Structure 1
Amino acid sequence: MSDAEGKQAGKAGLRTWTALTAAAVLAAGCAVKPGPQPAPGQAAQDQTSCRQAAPGDAWVGNWLGVNKRKGIAGELHVLMTLKQDGSMAYAEQLKRAGKSPQALNETGCWQRDGETLVMRTTHSNAVAVEQGDPIYTNEYEVQMRAGQLVLNGPEGPLSLKRMPDDYRMPMF
């Protein structure tokens, strides 16, 4: 390699390192300094701990609803499990003729606020969710009619009948 070629290669290497250094400095400048952190495990516990239901609460149990919704082809099967410890599980299956069913499985906490059911999802399809996102908190006005739990939501009422504690939705 001649002296001129060596100087040229050295300049190219220097330019590469200069560009990488500048990029690193810019990236470091964009970093956000984290605010004060809660005690280890406290924030996660505040978001995922559930409040126990009142003893004998009629809403505690396994509830199954099957219905058709306007604009949705097929039958929607909903299994909602409200536990005494305040935890909940919500499973939804959309069954359509000639197509594979689609499913959603959520877990989290529930609480009763008068006649309003508040459900807070902490995991959707076994993946932790972003707790600040309002999509994971749902509220339904509830009525008990002839032993059924009727949820009044934005898509209209959904009637759920009580199922045995060991009932699970059939796998597709």
Structure 2
Amino acid sequence: MQDTTMRWRVVGASLITAVLAAGCTAPRKPAPAQPPAPPACKAPAAHDNVTGNWLSIHRQKGVRGELRTLYTLNPDGTLAYTEQLKRSGKPSQGLSETGCWSRAGSTLELRTLESNGAPVNQKDPIYTNRYTVMSASGDRLVLRSEDGTEINARRMSPGYRLPF
């Protein structure tokens, strides 16, 4: 009787050991591929007159309220784009994007890399916007979008942020 019980214990222990050993040698799944790194921003020409903080306040057809847009074009080619919708009696709604900007002649290109902190699909054309620089002097910047909309912005102090 004792001999039979001992055999079952040895057989049980052997089975458990075999299962554990098989689990340790199972093929591992390959690590998920890392997403490609976002493109690096390139610094524009030194002292480009569109570098800085630019605030545009306007109304848009079909949108109830006032749109406030802050373009922060940094000297290293990075950008921050913050848009805020202000409506009477309601809390502000906002959008915050970061990315790169570049200028070739009178064309200003803004490329969004992150929207509200999340990476965007770089192949989606909605995240690349091109504007014609109509004028950029001192404290005023006038841009024209590809659809013909004119954007009038004024220069704000370094570090300026939209109030919420």
TM-score (norm 1): 0.70
Which one has a larger percent strand, Structure 1 or Structure 2?
2
| Structure 2 residue matching 1:48: 3-state secondary structure | coil
**TM superposition shift of 1:98:** 2.0
Provide the C-alpha distance between the structure 1 equivalents of 2:82 and 2:64, rounded to a whole number of angstroms: 18
**Partners of 2:49 and 2:137 within 8 A in 1:** no
Give, in angstroms, the shift of residue 100 of structure 1.
2.0
**Contact 1:106/1:122 (<8 A) preserved:** yes
Q: Gaps spanning 5+ residues in structure 2: where? A: 1-32
Structure-1 residue corresponding to 2:160: 167
Q: Which segment drifts farther, 133-142 or 146-155?
A: 146-155
CA distance in 1, matches of 2:137, 2:109: 22
Residues of 2 paired with 1:132 and 1:65: CA distance?
27
Q: Which has the larger radius of gyration?
A: 2
2:58 aligns to what? 67
Structure 2 residue corresponding to 1:157, chosen from 110, 131, 150:
150
Determine the C-alpha separation between the residues in 2 that align with 1:146 and 1:121.
25
Spell out, residue by residue over 1:28-80, the C-alpha distance to the aligned partner (whole angstroms, 9 max, x if none): xxxxxxxxx9xx78x41xx4300111111001000011011122111000000
Tell me if the contact between 1:48 and 1:108 (Cα under 8 Å) persists in the aligned partners: no
The residue aligned with 1:132 is: 123
2:3 corresponds to: none
Seen in structure 2, the aligned counterparts of structure 1 residues 143 and 155 have a Cα distance that, compared at 3 Å, is closer
Identical aligned residues as a percent:
47
Query: After TM superposition, where is structure 1 displaced by more than 3 Å over at least 4 residues in a row?
Result: none
Helix, strand or coil at the partner of 2:91: coil
Q: 2:100 aligns with which of 104, 109, 126?
A: 109
Tell me the amino acid that sits aligned with residue 170 of structure 1.
P
Q: In 2, distance between residues paired with 1:92 and 1:131?
A: 20
**Structure 2 Cα separation of the partners of residues 73 and 155 of structure 1:** 21
Unaligned runs of 5+ in 1: 1-36
Distance 1:89 1:145 in 2: 19
What TM-score results when the alignment is normalised by the length of structure 2? 0.74
Q: How far 1:146 sits from its partner (Å)? A: 5.4
Distance 2:137 2:87 in 1: 29
Which has a greater percent of helix?
Answer: 1
- Rate the CA distance shift 1:146–1:82 in 2: closer, same or farther, 3 A: closer
